[in-house]
Chains A and B, each alone.
Chain A
Amino acid sequence: GQNIDQPTEMTATEGAIVQINCTYQTSGFNGLFWYQQHAGEAPTFLSYNVLDGLEEKGRFSSFLSRSKGYSYLLLKELQMKDSASYLCAVSRAAGNKLTFGGGTRVLVKP
């Protein structure tokens, strides 16, 4: 089976940095995904990590350590529009389903 844990909620100030942690336990691993989901909308793809290390994409970065079963999503220079849920998901095999964590609701305050 799979177990994916991430904090339920985080609050941060506009312009600041927030780090959302995700830990997972899985048999078989084919990559870790981060999605952003605004209330009432579809999840949108942010990042995909399959090898250890940091992937940077503009204001968003994602890190993976396979040996530790750990990932984080780093959001820099926070903007009000970044207020959303951030979903961590793991794939066990190519072309296979994603197993999602419960999501982390991030609230950005002025």
Chain B
Amino acid sequence: NAGVMQNPRHLVRRRGQEARLRCSPMKGHSHVYWYRQLPEEGLKFMVYLQKENIIDESGMPKERFSAEFPKEGPSILRIQQVVRGDSAAYFCASSPQGAERAFFGQGTRLTVV
């Protein structure tokens, strides 16, 4: 059983470009969470999704950021018109329905130049 898979591991984008971060949850997990970690800081919640539904997006910036978790395929975190401040590690976690323990992926390190 593969763990939570995120790709790419590293992503470099120029200011103004779009960044797409992918997360495949563990087999059997239907809950996906995205967190952002700025250098030398803790993880900050962004969004919580179940298949085809956004459950809680209270941590998402109002503009440029969106997330989806389609019926088929990975969850996608999309950042449009990236700025230098978007440079961070973005972690995805998944959990089975009703479980308390979330497993984290290796993260995508986004660098905006």
Contact = CB atoms under 8 A, between A and B. Distances in A.
Interface string B73-105: 000000000000000000101010111111111
Given A42-B104, A91-B100, A96 B91 contact: no
Contacts of A100: 35, 42-45
B48 interface: yes
Contact of B42 (A45, A48, A102): A102
> A interface, how many residues as a size bin?
20 to 34
B107 interface: yes
A98 B102 contact: yes
Contacts, number: 58
A84 to B, nearest CB: 14
B105 A42 contact: yes
A42 B104 CA distance: 6
Interface of B: 31, 33, 35, 41-45, 48, 56, 59, 91, 93, 95, 97-107, 109
Given A95-B97, A96-B56, A103-B41, 12 more contacts: A42-B104, A42-B107, A43-B104, A45-B101, A48-B101, A89-B43, A95-B95, A95-B100, A97-B59, A98-B43, A100-B42, A101-B42
